[in-house]
Amino acid sequence: MTDLPKFTIPTLTPDEGAQTAAVLQERLHSLNDLHLTLKHVHWNVVGPSFIAVHEMLDPQVDAVRLMVDALAERIATLGVSPVGTPGALVASRTWDDYPIGRGTTTDHLAELDKVYAGVIASHRSAAAATEKLDVVTNDLLIGQLHDLEKFHWFVRAHLESAAGALGTA
């Protein structure tokens, strides 16, 4: 857990503010990693459907970067200093680095399917952890889940057959 803030938002104790900020800090690292990964894929995707995937990713990068900013600002609002340095992100990671460099649209999208599934599962856990602790933080996380799940659907739609099966299953 982070150090106790000197102040936090009304109705939360400094300990509750620190607990909430710690949940958000983990999400901050995860989404910073996601936006870098999405940009990496944007630069390295090749093959059939290249332009569709290449152009699909930039709006996702932009949206995830806005999510990161909202999380960092919420952490600061709770009285804690958000940490956005690359070293802190790498030191706190509990997931593997993205494994593909230059690769086909199918290979990248199959890997992004896994990335989004992990990010969404962790984001849902964070939302559950804040449900009774801080409704504003919980609302922020739920709103972000809406977009993350939509982006995951975009990725999966490229992998899906007409029968509804994922080509990577």
Q: How far apart, in whole angstroms, are the C-alpha atoms of residue 99 and residue 144?
A: 25
Burial class (CB in 10 A: 0-12, 13-18, 19+), 39: middle
Beta bridge partners of 166: 160
pTM of the shown model: 0.94
Q: How confident is the model at residue 165 (pLDDT cuts 50, 70, 90)?
A: confident
Q: Would you say residue 79 has pLDDT above 60?
A: yes
Query: Dmax of the chain from CA atoms?
Result: 56
CATH of region 14-159: 1.20.1260.10
Q: Which pLDDT belongs to residue 108?
A: 97
For residue range 32-78, list pLDDT tens digits in order: 999 999 999 999 999 989 999 999 999 999 999 999 999 999 999 99
Q: Where are the alpha helices (DSSP H) in 78-168?
A: 86-92, 105-130, 135-159
For residue range 6-27, list pLDDT tens digits in order: 889 999 999 999 999 999 999 9
Which of 50-64, 76-90, 153-167 has the weakest average pLDDT?
A: 153-167
